[in-house]
A and B are shown apart, each in its own frame.
Chain A
């Protein structure tokens, strides 16, 4: 089904998207602020993120799957991605796709449909395998929190508990590089800094249609574990690692402040 869209044939969700004000445009659909495309089987809504200058700030806790990613030119845009298995449902259940698209569009502005109600904690825990919220990578262990309130359904792992104030600028820059790369590279997971010292990774399913929740919870927590597992060791090395390493101390630009002064 997604292949249909990628080939340019009118897909089943054509009517849904046009009903929401998005018109066929190139390889996708385009509205005033939102664009929809299918890429590698994933349904991707994109919004203009030009008002934001930092992909890691101000995004934690937003309802829904939106996050800021950099495009090929480095410009930030909001991205909301639907897994292929959910997109496949649109082929036979346009109404389900309507719900998913409605979720994406409603949360694009940080808003939540007030009629949404969360699943019960027992339901969510029943969808997860035992130990799904605990992660151990070598000497590092992390526990995810399931945040479930009347207006919130979110999974959250701490990546770095506390960035020391004394951390060098070069290590701070490397950490930022690591986090931004993960944010751009991996789907569904939003990475951000809470305050000046905490780094979190989260998957926020607030507002998701109930018929898609079980699948989203399972795919979302798998993605979250994957991303956090890939981040915690290098992040810990950058934040706490005592071993000297010239590349680390120079920072991602390869120039220490001292070198910069010499170049002037």
Chain B
């Protein structure tokens, strides 16, 4: 049997600093977008909002479609933020 993919652990904080969670056993090959949605659900953030992830170490925005393990290392810190745009007149 082929071994299961490795998993990651990291700390996620929402952009206001209100919620912080320790995520463990996150599959490294999950797309970052799916990880963002699961973190948002765990933090009870609104599910109608598109959420994105940012690496605190590099300030890089993670690509939703790329495996999270290809974008961050384990035992790192990330921030979840709403992918919304300010409106204007």
Contact = CB atoms under 8 A, between A and B. Distances in A.
Given A141-B34, A147-B2, A161 B29 contact: no
Contact of B7 (A60, A147, A161, A194): A161
Contact of B4 (A134, A138, A141, A161): A161
B5 A194 contact: no
Pick from B1, B30, B34 the residue with the most CB of A within 10 Å: B1
Interface residues of B, number: 19
B42 to A, nearest CB: 4
Contact of B34 (A136, A162, A194): A136
A214 B87 CA distance: 46
A135 to B, nearest CB: 8
Interface of B: 1-2, 4-5, 7, 25-27, 29-31, 34-35, 37-39, 41-42, 67
A23 to B, nearest CB: 37
Interface string A139-160: 1111101010000000000100
Interface of A is mostly: strand
Given A60-B1, A158-B4, A143 B30 contact: yes
Contacts of A162: 25
A143 B4 contact: no
Contacts of B35: 141
A108 B66 CA distance: 39
Contacts of B25: 161-162
Given A141-B26, A145-B5, 16 more contacts: A61-B1, A136-B34, A136-B41, A139-B38, A139-B41, A139-B42, A141-B37, A143-B29, A143-B31, A145-B2, A147-B2, A158-B4, A161-B4, A161-B7, A161-B25, A194-B4
25 contacts: A61-B1, A134-B30, A135-B34, A136-B34, A138-B41, A138-B42, A139-B38, A139-B39, A139-B41, A141-B27, A141-B34, A141-B37, A141-B38, A143-B29, A145-B2, A145-B4, A145-B5, A145-B29, A158-B4, A161-B4, A161-B7, A161-B25, A194-B1, A194-B4, A198-B4
A3 B55 CA distance: 58
Contact of B38 (A138, A145, A200): A138
Nearest to A202: B1
Interface of A: 60-61, 134-136, 138-143, 145, 147, 158, 161-162, 194, 198, 200
B33 to A, nearest CB: 8
B72 to A, nearest CB: 15
B50 to A, nearest CB: 13
Contacts of A135: 34
A18 to B, nearest CB: 37
Nearest to B1: A61
Contact of A143 (B1, B2, B27, B39): B27
B21 to A, nearest CB: 9
A145 B5 CA distance: 9
